[in-house]
Structure 1
Amino acid sequence: MSDAPNIALVRRLYASGMAPDVVGEVIDPDIVWDITPGFPYGGVYQGWASAGADFFGRLAPGFTFFGAVAEEFYGSGDHVFVRGHYHAVSKSGQESDARFIHLWTVGDGRLTHLVQAADSHVVQQALTA
């Protein structure tokens, strides 16, 4: 698979805002979801069910809005790098923007691995404000 289809696959996920139907089509159910230590609920989650429940399920209650804004996409073989920022509004009304880099691995036309690095401090501050 060339870089262009892989980038299109990843772009589709961000453009959907993680819409469940798109997630079901592009994310492998056995994905490895690796969130940087220091980020709220950081760790390695095995499978989409775990990432959804154990990461997003714990993160989401602290926010009225949390979204990833992709700004740049770079492809290299089976990998797609995304530079962007999270825009979030905590339950207390604190808005924040935290930079991230996502490294996606594509296999058989689906996303099989995510490694995230982000400005964890900004997100932690929004949760405690």
Structure 2
Amino acid sequence: MSTSANISLVRRLYESRMAPEVVAEVVAADIVWDITPGFPGGGVHQGWDRVVRDFFGPMQPNFASLGSVPEQYYTDEDGHVFVLGHYHAETRSGNRADVRFIHLWTIREGRIAGLVQAADSHVLQQALNG
């Protein structure tokens, strides 16, 4: 895929807000989802089923809303898309936080095959525990 096609693929995932039908089209079943330690659900999750169960599943009860807001996209010739942005979070208790992130996406054979996330987990933990 071209670098612009890779950005379009990742942008589509963000814009869909992780809609299941879009995830099924663009995310590889064997994706590696690597999340900053200290972030809820942090760690490395192998496969979309485990991402849903071990990352998204435990996070959902903590938040009234949590959304990714991508701000800048960059790409390279090796199938990577870098996204700078922030999460906008509102906890079930009403605390709010904007948490900066960088996402490094890996594209393989026209599908998203990996995510490495670095985010300010301290800010998110303060909102959850505040």
The two structures have a TM-score, normalised by structure 1, of 0.98
Alignment correspondent of 1:69: 69
Alignment correspondent of 1:40: 40
Alignment correspondent of 1:55: 55
Alignment correspondent of 2:15: 15
How well do the aligned residues superpose, as a CA RMSD in angstroms? Answer: 0.7
Q: Which amino acid aligns with 1:125?
A: Q
Q: Which amino acid aligns with 2:25?
A: E
Please list the CA deviations of residues 1-51 of structure 1 after superposition, one character each: whole Å capped at 9, or x if unmatched: 210000000000001111111111111010000001121221000001001
- Number of corresponding residues: 129
Q: Identity of counterpart residues, as a percentage?
A: 61
How far did residue 80 of structure 1 move? 0.1
Q: What aligned pairs does 1:1-129 form with structure 2 within 5 A after superposition? A: 1-77=1-77, 78-129=79-130
SS of the residue aligned with 2:105? strand
SS of the residue aligned with 2:89? strand
SS of the residue aligned with 2:38? coil
The two structures have a TM-score, normalised by structure 2, of 0.97
Matches of 2:82 and 2:112, distance apart in 1: 12
SS of the residue aligned with 1:18? coil
5+ long unaligned stretches in structure 1: none
Q: Which amino acid aligns with 2:124?
A: V
Matches of 1:111 and 1:81, distance apart in 2: 12
How far did residue 127 of structure 1 move? 1.1
5+ long unaligned stretches in structure 2: none
